[in-house]
Amino acid sequence: MNTNEEIKEMVREKYTAIANQSKEQNETSCCGATGSCGTDVYNIMSEDYTKLEGYNADADLGLGCGLPTEFAKIKEGDTVIDLGSGAGNDVFIARKFTGEKGKVIGIDFTEAMIAKARANAEKLGLQNVEFRQGDIDDMPVTANYADVIVSNCVLNLVPNKHKVISEIYRVLKPGGHFSISDIVLEGELPEKWRNVAELYAGCVTGAIQKKEYLDTIKEAGFTNITLQKDKAIILPDDVLTNYLNAEEIIAYKNGAVKISSITVYAEKPTKDDRNCCEPGSGCC
């Protein structure tokens, strides 16, 4: 595909367009930004947040692929970080768990999303939430800071996933944990999809193999790795026809490819006995 920086810029442009539209516009547009093709590759993966305490409709852009905050075991007084926080949906729900004694920080590299999230926080009058602009593979956060990290369908958008996982390890306190929803693969996607920018920004072609994803978490030093949820994602015909011809659609449906939304939980050990250099440096 393109270079890592080119991929990041493409994702930034897509999500800037999404931030500047309403949820209703995103749900009726192809890939959240332009056109009109019925069902897009963003909201067919999203789940219903409306029943969770702290839900705010203005912050829900329908871009997730799970409910990580529901599974994250957040306690009152915790410091929580949401990676790829968008308009603030998971941040505001996490705030209900932490209460006024805790703190929730959302990190997003799209300026328009940060502006939308800050406006939503101001409307809600929340004093202990904060939104920081920055890359999640180089977080603007000190080491050993957070009790809990959550993320919803974002890591697959980042080219260097090993670096993100390493950053999560660095930023979590010893004994801290994460709960992350993401898209993973089993089997190989059609080759022509690899160069389709819309499918990358829609979380499909940026996904890696499920085993590689879980192995990366283990190699970073995390323990008690648990799949909290594993749900198959079925791409409907009105999405497939935008990228594949009739014969290719049949081949895809009869193939061994499985796209899944998983929610993964893991813990940072209270003590790292691996006898290696600092977490986040990439040498462990």
Query: Tell me: the pLDDT tens digits for 186-200?
Result: 988 887 786 665 666
Q: How many structural domains is the chain composed of?
A: 1
Looking at residue 62, its pLDDT comes to: 72
| 137: nearest Cα among 162, 172, 113 | 162
Q: Is residue 276 part of a domain?
A: no
Q: Is residue 219 part of a domain?
A: yes
| Coil vs helix vs strand at 263 | strand
Q: Is residue 95 part of a domain?
A: yes
* Residue 142: CATH number of its domain: 3.40.50.150
Q: What is the mean pLDDT of residues 23-35?
A: 43
Q: Is residue 249 part of a domain?
A: yes
Q: What is the pLDDT of residues 234-268, one digit of tens each?
A: 888 888 888 888 988 888 888 888 889 999 999 99
Can you give the residue range of the structural domain that contains 176?
Answer: 4-267
Calculate the alpha carbon distances from 153 to 86, 183, 277, 283 in Å: 11, 6, 30, 26
In degrees, to the nearest 5, what angle opens at C-alpha 113 toward C-alphas 110 and 118?
125
Q: Is residue 274 part of a domain?
A: no
Q: Is residue 214 part of a domain?
A: yes
End-to-end C-alpha distance for the chain, whole angstroms:
28
CA pair distance 97, 116, nearest whole angstrom: 22
